[in-house]
Amino acid sequence: MKTKTASQPTTVQAKNISGAEAVIRCLLAEGVDLVYGYPGGAIMPIYDELYKFQDQLHHVLTRHEQGATHMAQGYARTSGKVGVAMATSGPGATNLVTGIADAQIDSTPMVCITGQVASHLLGSDAFQETDIIGISTSVTKWNYQITKVSEIPSILAKAFFIARSGRPGPVLIDITKDAQFDFFDFEYVPCTGIRSYQSDFPIAQDALSQAATLINAAKKPLIVWGQGVILGEAEAAFKTFVEKTGIPAAWTILGLSALETDHPLNMGMVGMHGNYAPNLLTNECDLLIAIGMRFDDRVTGSLDTYAKQAKIIHLEIDPAEVNKNVMVDVAVLGNCKDSLEQLLPHVQPLELTAWKARFHELNAIEEEKVIQKDLYPTKEGLTMGETLRVINEHSGGDAIIVTDVGQHQMVACRYAKFNQSKSNVTSGGLGTMGFALPAAIGAKMGAPKRQVIAIIGDGGYQMTIQELGTIFQQRLDVKIVVLNNEFLGMVRQWQQLFFDKRYASTEMINPDFIAIAKAYGIAAKCVDQREELSPAIATMLNTPGPYFLEVRVEKEDNVFPMIPSGASVSDIRLE
């Protein structure tokens, strides 16, 4: 699961410089050329130095600190680099916490730098003093408070090493104001290892041998892969493994795009709103091969009934995830790229004609009962599914799709087409509404040559709508599609199905989204008729610069299939 910076960190020295300047020199030594943040009193010395280095280090002024973390996440997810966010003390630091928690559960490499009151004021409830170390401990891979200027180089070197190594994650470094002002002789030495912290593991050959034996003997095997394939840069090895063995493969939402959507062995998504066949057949397979995924509850449903008939192989880099939720028969610990490459010579092509036919049989049922109705509706109003179908027709599967959280997220993950990896950017484990708009900004800056389309619900959009100001100031070519059903759609669906249609606090009275977009200098259009949809999407994609498209969709459409919360994957409902 290693990620890479633009260049290898380098050793740097400088005589008698301030701690604030040292921070900037550390970032440059790590190959950082882009930072997202919001200034304030306790981090002002660093921003003053940033001003002096602005020709080498581009700072993006966000409109809220939470937006800075989501932008750093989007940047990391599309570039493969470590995202960097900065904020001041107190509320500036606490506003980072949601994005940090999101990055932690979704294994996104990020370094957050916060300013802090002077060290002699710590613990005195000084103005804008908050114990951000205590607050963030449970949602960071590592955090540390710097109170002495001499600590800055070594701590920031460790921060980047920890953030990117092993299973990636967010690191927060809090720096007191006096440490920023003080002077010292600076030397930056890149971190290549930390005693007691093991980020890589040698592949156990006996585990590989056991795994190969199970694979070669399987009659009904199923692969479920997650984001570890992408983070480990294992896409090529994974595709070769799938094609050599001929095993049907399904993905978690963060694994989406590691294998092209239209690959004949790509059987779709597992989980609560996943595809019918891979969910049902999880409880029929004789071998489940989990690659770079963590058996999240949205994937497994009831653990009491999950794949009890199957032998289970788990390829995973984080030992804490092995046997945490699901007991496995063989665990192959290490980067899944290394594991797959070493496993490949030992596996054989399998004869799975009847087993694959079972997938196609169930796929046909879902196609008839769900997919055709979603993509080619006969009802008068527009649907989320057909909007994604038309986007696919115009993008050709080459766009990066950034989604928020809710019904539109599940629809986009189910129907968006992807031809290359690092194309699906979404909030997985934390389910953070408000993620998509700022994450799309970061995604575009991380992959500036690619088309970036944000698919957002009207609820989540309004949680970070202020980041339209960042798009306006940066003049970013981000396309924004709001699927407006005037509801908090996923909550409303649950209220309909499980709470007798008591729509408590889920109906939205929305503003004029078009007027708001235009106020930020963003071209905008609203459609609610089927004949308008394709021309509007074509115009959006062909218009230089940012574009906002509101699509008014059916208010009470539901997303199926669906596994009720806590139910077995075998209890998946098509309606």
Per-residue confidence (pLDDT) for residue 379, from 0 to 100: 87
Write b or e for each residue in 525-544: b if 16 or more Cβ atoms lie within 10 A of its Cβ, otherwise e. bbbeeeeebbebbeebbeee
Per-residue buried b or exposed e for 212-250, using 16+ beta carbons within 10 Å of the residue's own CB: bebbeebebbbbbbbbbbbbbbbbebbbebbeebbbbbb
How confident is the model over 522-541, as pLDDT tens digits? 999 999 999 999 999 999 99
Helix and strand totals (H; E) in the chain: 24, 20
Q: Residue 5's pLDDT band (boundaries 50, 70, 90)?
A: very low
**Tokens encoding 486:** 């005037």
What proportion of the chain, given as a percentage, has pLDDT over 70? 99
* Cβ contact 174:133 at 8 Å: yes
Position with higher pLDDT, 1 vs 547: 547
Give me the chain's average pLDDT, please. 96
For the stretch 421-478, pLDDT in tens is 999 999 999 999 999 999 999 999 999 999 999 999 999 999 999 999 999 999 999 9
Q: Is the pLDDT of residue 10 over 90?
A: no
315 phi and psi angles, rounded to 5 deg = -95, 115
pLDDT at 1: 38
Q: What are the backbone dihedrals phi and psi of residue 82, each rounded to the nearest 5 degrees, phi first?
A: -85, 125
* CA–CA dist 432, 472 (Å, integer): 23
Write out the two tokens for 176: 């007191």
Tens digits of per-residue pLDDT, 28-73? 999 999 999 999 999 999 999 999 999 999 999 999 999 999 999 9
Q: In angstroms, rounded to a whole number, what is the distance separating the alpha carbons of residues 390 and 377?
A: 13
Indicate the helix (H) or strand (E) that contains 92. Answer: helix 91-94
- Distance from CA of residue 472 to its chain's centroid? 24
Considering only CA atoms, which of 104, 86, 116, 193 is closest in space to residue 142?
Answer: 104
pLDDT at 7: 59
**C-alpha closest to that of 61 among 97, 36, 90:** 36
| CATH 3.40.50.1220 residue window(s) in the chain | 205-359
**Mean pLDDT value of segment 146-169:** 98
pLDDT of res. 12: 82
Which class does domain 205-359 fall in? alpha beta
User: Helices in 271-311 by DSSP H: which ranges?
Assistant: 276-282, 297-300
Res 383: pLDDT: 96
CA dist., res. 564 & res. 547, Å (int): 37
Per-residue pLDDT of 206-218, as tens digits, reads 999 999 999 999 9
Provide the token pair at 275.
Answer: 């595809």
Instruction: For the chain, give every residue range classified as CATH 3.40.50.970.
Output: 12-188, 380-552
Residue 4: pLDDT band with limits 50, 70, 90: very low
pTM for the model stands at 0.95
Task: Please write the tens of the pLDDT for every residue from 335-382.
Answer: 999 999 999 999 999 999 999 999 999 999 999 999 999 999 998 999
The predicted structure's pLDDT at residue 6? 45
Confidence of residue 2 (pLDDT cuts 50, 70, 90): very low
- Does the domain at 12-188 match CATH 3.40.50.970? Answer given as yes
Q: Which CATH number fits domain 380-552: 3.40.50.170, 2.60.120.260, 3.30.420.280, 3.40.50.970?
A: 3.40.50.970
Active site positions, annotated:
65, 127-128, 177, 490
Average pLDDT over residues 174-195: 96
Over residues 276-302, the pLDDT tens digits come to 999 999 999 999 999 999 999 999 999
